Every structure is written in structure tokens, then in C-alpha cells.
Chain A
Amino acid sequence: MKAFDYTAPVTLPEAVGLLVSQPSARLLAGGTDLIVQLRSGRKEADLVIDIKKIPELNALEFDPTAGLTIGAAVPCYRLTSHPVIQSHFPALAEVASWIGGTQIQGRASLGGNLCNAAPSADSIPLLIALGASALIAGPGGRRSVAIEDFCTAPGRNQLATGELLVAIHIPAPAAQSGAAYLRFIPRNEMDIAVVGAGVSVSIAEGVFTAARIALSAVAPTPLFVPAAGAALVGQPVSPAALEAAAQIAQAAATPISDMRGTAAYRKHLCAVMTRRALEIAVTRAQEN
């Protein structure tokens, strides 16, 4: 690895100041992407800013009205083991237990998974489905961006010079709502999604009242498909309704062929993963 300096600020303004004065600096949370990228030369840094000592970035707070706030540096294991997340956001606890393996989850943060902006990122379709937003701080103050607007290209995101992700905010779950994320991988664990589908649904008296569907690994960025969710709203819960939504999601996907799968195979998987994820989300909504 090329030489760099290291600093670990303890306040947000300090971190923003460092980013403004040294735009080539890189932020370090869990390091499971950054250290690999620095070693391979895919990214360079004169300065690495460790954000784990900033209290706000380590906060994990739930309020029944305000929802869930996940500090940008909170590692995955804190999400998988958190009782409120297990009970209110089971899909999120699952996805945090599927990113890498035990060792990776001890370091890797959801914030890093988002900022790394991989088209195949496991957490992003679910965050989109849950209606989450990215809370950003920078020299101009704070702003909030919907997760579906956060990634702009493979490995690229909305953050401007001097800005950093502070937290991910997820609204409190509505009554009779459920969510799920499913991915297809050839192994049982420790693999990159060939296709992933994140969904959330709300149901009242057997009829869908809201639904959001997003896909991973089938477009340059995680793909929000509003039309697929909209097709469910007003429909009674039925296999045909789920299949129709899955077909709309599939139609929106523009995958490439690579070592993980052909474009045609990925297209096929879009409908299968979406439908199966919807079945889980419906079951969860009916149990809530």
C-alpha cells in the first residue's frame, strides 16, 4: 500500500474541515472496501480519516415515531444482534448478516456499503424499499437525500467535496407492513449478488396500500422500480398480483453479462427474486 497519513477526528466539524482542506482524503469506517481498494491501487489517499471515533456516526437509535437512525460507522454485527431491529426490521437484521462473513460483519458498516455504491450492494435495495434516506453533513450544512437518488454510477455517489454520510434514517414501520431482501448467489454465503431484490409492502384488509421494490446487480446503480410497487397498490393480495409486480421489475432491469451470470439469466432472476421477496414481505405484513 502507498504511504498515507492517518487521523481520527472526534467531532463532525473536524472531519468536514479535514475533507475540505484535503479533498484527496479518504474516509475509513470498517475498512473492508477501502483497505482493499487502497492496496490494489484502485483508490489512492494522502490522508485516511477514521470516522469511528465520532459519537454521532456510531449512534444506533430507534424511536417508535421518528424511526431508526443508523450512524454511518455502525458495523453490521450491531444491526444483526439488536433486539429492536430484529423485531421491527427483520429484513435489515438479515441483510446485515449476509454482507460478508462473521469477520467482515465485525467491521463493515451499512454506511460504507451505501457509499461504496456497488451496483450489487446488498443493503441498498432494501434501504430503498424501506423508504430510507441518507443524512449528509458538509461545509454548507446538512442535507438529506433519498437512498434511491444517492448512487450515481458504479462506485460513485451524491457526496460533494467536503461532505460525508452521517447516518441512514429509516422511517418507523407502518402497521401491517413487511419487508424482505433476497439475493441469488451460487454459494450459501460470502458471495456477491447475481441479482438482489428488496421489497416492502403495506396491507389493509387484504389489499395492498403501499409497496416499494428495488433491485441490485441489474443496472449501473441499485435500481428503484416505482412502477412495480405502484402496480400492487389497490390490488388484493394474490399470487397474480405479486407476479405482475415481479414482471414489471424484470422489465425495468438492464443487466450486463459477466462472470456471475448472463444478462438473460439475470433478467429471469429479477422476476423470481422479486416474487419470492414479496411473498416473504406479505407474510411479515400479515403477522404484524
Chain B
Amino acid sequence: MALKVQVQTTINNEPVQFLCEPRQTLLECLRDVVGLTGTKEGCGDGNCGSCTVKLGDRIVTSCLVLGVEAEGETITTVEGLAHGNTLHPLQKAFLEHAALQCGICTPGFLIAADALLQKHPHPTEDQTRFWLSNNLCRCTGYDKIIRAVQAAAVEINGAPQ
């Protein structure tokens, strides 16, 4: 049995230490050790994107990262999007556009879309669909998600020039 390892991270702007076994994924550490259950497990092998979190300046599927690899890293989960009781514009847009039904994929879509809007303030539909191709939704058929992301882009960054 491998010894547990102490991992020091910054999660949603708070310093967080956790103890984990090397075999535990970052997803397991976030949910089962740190208690941040907003991040969801879908497929567990990197295909569905439900467990997407921001690690450093990249989005990753946290089921394919070991908890020990997060040492010294900055992590953003869906819990880090809202400010207190004020939802993030993406969260508001998802609600307004009915871009979710069962909601399991939503945290992953929100984190991935947030990273997209930081890279492309006004992404085209093609850019949005390509960027979000690592996120699967089995309920909505995607169109509402794409419209929600584009509406949030306008809300955050103003109308495109």
C-alpha cells in the first residue's frame, strides 16, 4: 500500500492542502477528499468532459490527472465561478437559455466555456463547437449550450465590434 502524500494547492483562490494516495485522481481528490462535489464524474476516461477543471492556465479532464500531480498548482472548479450569491454570466446564460436538463455535464461545460471566453472574447460558432468537442451532453443537443455561451460572451465582453 503506497503511503499517502500531502498535496498543496490553491483551489478557487483558497490555499488547500489534502492527503491522497498516488493512485487517486484529481477528480477523486476534489470530490472525496476536499469535498468539492460540483465537479462530476461521467466516463472516467477523458471522453465526456464532465470532470473538467482548470489546472494552471489549461482546462483538463480531472479524471486523467493524478491528485499528486496537482502539487503547487492553481485549480478552478465550478464552485469558483460564482461570486457569493451572484452567478457567473455563463451560469446565468445557461439558465436563461435552458442549456441544461439533467445537469451532470454542466459544471464541465461551464469551466470549459469560461476558458474559451478568456481566449476568444467573441468565439464563432465553429470555434465554440470545436473547443467544446471534449464535452458531451446527452440531453440538450448542444444548440442551447452554444447559444448560451455566445450570449454570455456578449454579456461579459460587450457586442462584437
Contacts and interface: CB of A to CB of B under 8 A. Distances in A.
Interface string A17-42: 00000000000101110011011100
Interface in B104-144: 112, 115, 129-135
A118 to B, nearest CB: 15
Contacts of B68: 6, 50
Contacts of A28: 66, 69
A32 B64 contact: yes
A93 to B, nearest CB: 14
Given A5-B22, A48-B22, A102 B134 contact: yes
Contact of A106 (B21, B44, B55): B55
Contacts of A6: 2, 5, 22, 66, 68
B56 to A, nearest CB: 9
Residue picked from A1, A3, A4, A106, most chain B C-beta under 10 Å: A106
B47 A102 contact: no
Contacts of A101: 49, 133-135
Given A28-B66, A39-B45, A102-B112, A2 B23 contact: yes
Contacts of A100: 46, 134
A283 B19 CA distance: 55
Contact of A189 (B24, B44, B64, B133): B133
Contact of B46 (A4, A52, A103, A189): A103
B63 to A, nearest CB: 8
B44 A102 contact: no
Contacts of A30: 64
A104 interface: yes
Nearest to A190: B133
A1 B132 CA distance: 28
Contacts of B63: 35
Interface residues of B, number: 35
A129 to B, nearest CB: 25
A100 B45 CA distance: 12
B83 interface: no
Given A4-B22, A104-B46, A48 B59 contact: no
Interface in B18-56: 21-25, 44-47, 49, 52, 55
Interface of A: 1-6, 28, 30-32, 35-36, 38-40, 48, 50, 52, 75, 77, 100-104, 106-107, 188-190
15 contacts: A1-B23, A1-B24, A4-B23, A5-B22, A6-B5, A38-B23, A39-B45, A40-B45, A48-B66, A100-B134, A101-B133, A102-B112, A102-B131, A102-B134, A107-B60
Given A3-B22, A31-B69, A101-B133, 16 more contacts: A4-B23, A6-B66, A31-B65, A31-B66, A35-B64, A35-B65, A36-B45, A39-B45, A101-B134, A102-B112, A102-B132, A106-B60, A188-B129, A189-B133, A190-B133, A190-B134
**CB-based closest 8 A-B pairs:** A101-B134, A106-B58, A6-B22, A189-B133, A1-B23, A103-B134, A101-B133, A103-B61
Interface of B: 1-3, 5, 21-25, 44-47, 49, 52, 55, 58-61, 63-66, 68-69, 112, 115, 129-135
